[in-house]
């Protein structure tokens, strides 16, 4: 199951995590966000223990969303060593996201 990132746990779970984290910025009212949710869930299961994959609700966690300039959702950030190494805006296929994960893992 995908991890739930929040303003309060983001530093510890993503920035201080030495490995790769994949953060899906989303909102409940966003149709494309709901469409990509099953893919994020599958990837979280497949990469469990190797890559931290989860979701951050932009309506409930505005601090992190603002810090990273998230203006459109879904936005997916690939963060490694506390730095954004890749950013994708909009929906994406599972294969595309797997390619990005493999490239940065």
pLDDT digits (tens, 9 = 90+) for 13-72: 999 998 999 999 999 999 999 999 999 999 999 999 999 999 999 999 999 999 999 999
Residue among 23, 6, 11, 2 nearest 60 (CA): 6
Of the residues 20, 23, 33, 36, which is catalytic? Answer: 33
Q: Is the dihedral of CA 85, 88, 93, 94 positive or negative?
A: positive
Of the residues 17, 30, 68, 88, which is catalytic? Answer: 30
104 pLDDT higher than 90: yes
Domains and CATH numbers, the chain: 3-93 (3.40.30.10)
Is 21 known to be catalytic? no
**Two tokens at 7?**
């303003």
pLDDT digits (tens, 9 = 90+) for 13-29: 999 998 999 999 999 99
Is 30 known to be catalytic? yes
Report the distance separating Cα 17 and Cα 76, nearest Å. Answer: 17
């Amino acid at each position: 199951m995908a991890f739930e990132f929040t303003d309060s746990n983001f530093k510890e779970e993503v920035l201080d995590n030495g490995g790769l984290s994949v953060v899906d910025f989303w909102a409940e009212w966003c149709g494309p966000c709901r469409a990509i949710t099953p893919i994020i869930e599958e990837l979280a299961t497949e990469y469990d223990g190797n890559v931290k994959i989860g979701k951050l609700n932009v309506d409930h966690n505005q601090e992190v969303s603002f810090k990273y300039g998230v203006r459109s959702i879904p936005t997916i950030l690939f963060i490694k060593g506390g730095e954004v190494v890749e950013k994708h805006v909009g929906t994406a296929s599972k294969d595309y996201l797997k390619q990005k994960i493999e490239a940065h893992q």
